[in-house]
Amino acid sequence: MTRTRAASLLFSLALLLPGAMPAAAAEPSSRLDYGETACHNRSILGFITSDFGYRARHYLKADIAIAEIRDMGLNRLELRDETHPVEREYCFATAITTDGETRALWYLIERGWGFAGIGSNIEFCLSGLDPWFVYGAQCASLR
């Protein structure tokens, strides 16, 4: 076996064996990769506002929308590691709806879905507006 072929084979094996990789390469993504909490991210809040409008019209059959989201914060953080491949940020906020009500908004931002950890997901619930208890009583599963 030539030296070039042997080196190529060893390199290929190193890529397949996580224990053979340097520690930094084997580590799951850290909090620093995402910067500040995503709970305040305008595009995420925009998605929630838009998607709630769709759900209110089509599922609740109600003429209601989110007028404002404020007082956002991080409730819980589950970082990725070797046993939890998906990072989860559990967030809370106050939503003011067009019917004049102030409601608790609970939302979950998940990262690391899909092949090679690409993709994300957002789930949300407004307290009092989940008649089928998809997220449990008072949005319990998103807290």
Burial class (CB in 10 A: 0-12, 13-18, 19+), 94: middle
pLDDT in tens, 10-25: 333 333 333 333 333 3
Residues with Cβ within 8 Å of 119's Cβ and at least 6 positions away in sequence, in order, are 111, 112, 113
- The pLDDT assigned to 25 comes to 35
pTM for this one?
0.71
pLDDT in tens, 87-136: 999 999 999 999 999 999 999 999 887 666 678 899 999 999 999 999 99
pLDDT in tens, 58-95: 999 999 999 999 999 999 999 988 888 899 999 999 99
**Inter-CA distances, 101 with 23, 35, 56, 74, 114, Å:** 51, 33, 15, 23, 37
